[in-house]
Amino acid sequence: MKTTTEKFGAAPHQPSLWTRADALKVRADDPTTTQPLVSADFPVLNNDVFIWDTMPLRDLDGNVTSVDGWSVIFTLTADRHPNDPQYLDEDGNYDILRDWNDRHGRAKMYYWFSRTGKNWEFGGRVMAEGVSPTAREWAGTPILLNDRGEVDLYYTAVTPGATIVKVRGRVVTTEHGVSMVGFEKVKPLFEADGKMYQTEAQNAFWGFRDPWPFRDPKDGKLYMLFEGNVAGERGSHKVGEAEIGDVPPGYEDVGNSRFQTACVGIAVARDADGDDWEMLPPLLTAVGVNDQTERPHFVFQDGKYYLFTISHTFTYADGVTGPDGVYGFVADSLFGPYVPLNGSGLVLGNPSSQPFQTYSHYVMPNGLVTSFIDSVPTDETGTQIRVGGTEAPTVGMKIKGLQTFVVAEYDYGYIPPMLDVTLK
């Protein structure tokens, strides 16, 4: 067997570390890295379904792409159950929060289309019932492959297990709308290996999901980012000097932070079609800092690699914290070393007065950041909330060197195309 080094010519890289010292620099409510307040009177995209993770159709270089003038997004989606006795409280009222919190177990991939990059029209399910091999269709990436409209949808097949899979179909347009055809044969690609990436057997709370394939602008090869945890039995990880970083006196105690072991994984394709993949060591690890680095993705700008990933307050380790939102890291070459943007890594967090207002931020190469509304307080104390399950206002951001700046706010779910492909 040839090693990765022989085949790909790259020296095996060392993962970059997001350290506890980096995370100590996180400042919630810094206006340059905080999402503007989302008003509780937001519009809802569709009253029959909840939507959350939003995946714009794009090409392998990361450009958000429309087809024949139609913008297309894929979303994780679940039915709302306002009349289901299972979701009524003691007074017979719809317990929307419980319904919303249960959504992950019934997540399905849906698509939507638009002429204007907003006000999305309902398309429907991408795969018919029974096509996907597991109960849950979790996040991934739809890639427009060519001007015949072929689309590779990479996503995560979850429960049982967690497998990165792909399914091929085609986008078809008319004057009146868009449909998805095909998407009938799901191909499993890979699962966590237990050597680089933690398995379910090593940790029942493992994460292995959210594929994001891309063509490296420098070497032209096909790679894929994904979310993982660092391999090893739960509780066996060491939070040593490297993971702690340069902390001030009094900040050496790591508590139980060995249980937080997130990483951003990377794999390289052995073939041009992306049917055969080899996992490589993680690009970035957050051992002792955070347990989830979800939906990792890149923006390639100014010859640099801007790596973004979403994370939560509740997944931070003992002694460090930060808002729900998107975090970022930058490097001059694909395999790093990566340094945290804005010193801490925080790029766009929720304001502390509305800590759950949005999540699942996706930074596009035009600096626009889309996300979904989770829940927004409707009273001063924050005890009353309105559940979202719909698109949040898009935020405009400038990426400059090692820093990012919030500079604009746009309409709900505004995801304009960066290029249009005319289908043959």
Q: d(Cα 103, Cα 264) in Å, to the nearest integer?
A: 25
In whole angstroms, how close is the CB of 100 to ligand FRU at the nearest point?
11
SS3 state of residue 278 = strand
**Minimum CB distance to ligand FRU smaller for 66 or for 309:** 309
What is the token pair recorded at 125? 């399910």
Q: Which residues of 14-40 are buried (b: 16+ CB within 10 A; e: fewer)?
A: ebbbbbbbbbbebbbeeebbbbeebeb
Q: Are 213 and 224 in contact (CB under 8 A)?
A: yes
Is-catalytic flag, 252? no
Q: d(Cα 52, Cα 282) in Å, to the nearest integer?
A: 26
Q: Are 58 and 64 in contact (CB under 8 A)?
A: yes
Q: Are 184 and 153 in contact (CB under 8 A)?
A: no
In whole angstroms, how close is the CB of 207 to ligand FRU at the nearest point?
7
In whole angstroms, how close is the CB of 392 to ligand FRU at the nearest point?
13
Positive/negative CA dihedral, 351, 55, 320, 314? positive
In whole angstroms, how close is the CB of 424 to ligand FRU at the nearest point?
33
**Minimum CB distance to ligand FRU smaller for 239 or for 307:** 307
**Minimum CB distance to ligand FRU smaller for 278 or for 314:** 314
In whole angstroms, how close is the CB of 103 to ligand FRU at the nearest point?
7
**Minimum CB distance to ligand FRU smaller for 79 or for 420:** 79
Q: d(Cα 355, Cα 321) in Å, to the nearest integer?
A: 13
In whole angstroms, how close is the CB of 303 to ligand FRU at the nearest point?
29
Nearest Cα to Cα of residue 143 among 44, 50, 269, 265: 269
Is-catalytic flag, 150? no
Q: d(Cα 190, Cα 276) in Å, to the nearest integer?
A: 9
In whole angstroms, how close is the CB of 97 to ligand FRU at the nearest point?
16
In whole angstroms, how close is the CB of 320 to ligand FRU at the nearest point?
20
**Minimum CB distance to ligand FRU smaller for 149 or for 413:** 413
Determine which one of 99, 137, 152, 294 is catalytic.
294
Determine which one of 53, 152, 210, 291 is catalytic.
53
Alpha helices in 207-256 (DSSP H): 241-244
Q: Which helix (H) or strand (E) holds 117?
A: none
CA atoms within 13 Å, Cβ hemisphere of 380:
0
**Minimum CB distance to ligand FRU smaller for 210 or for 216:** 210
The residue ranges that bind ligand FRU (CB under 6 A) are: 52-53, 76, 104, 107, 138-139, 156, 209-210, 227, 294-295, 359-360
Scan for tokens 């095909």, then name that residue. Answer: 182
> Which DSSP string corresponds to 128-167?
-TTTSSSSEEEEEEEEE-STT-EEEEEEEEESSSEEEEEE
**Minimum CB distance to ligand FRU smaller for 22 or for 210:** 210
Kindly give, in sequence order, each residue whose CB lies less than 8 Å from that of residue 51, ignoring residues fewer than 6 positions away: 45, 75, 76, 77, 110, 372, 389, 390, 391
**Minimum CB distance to ligand FRU smaller for 164 or for 397:** 164
Residues annotated catalytic, as ranges: 53, 294
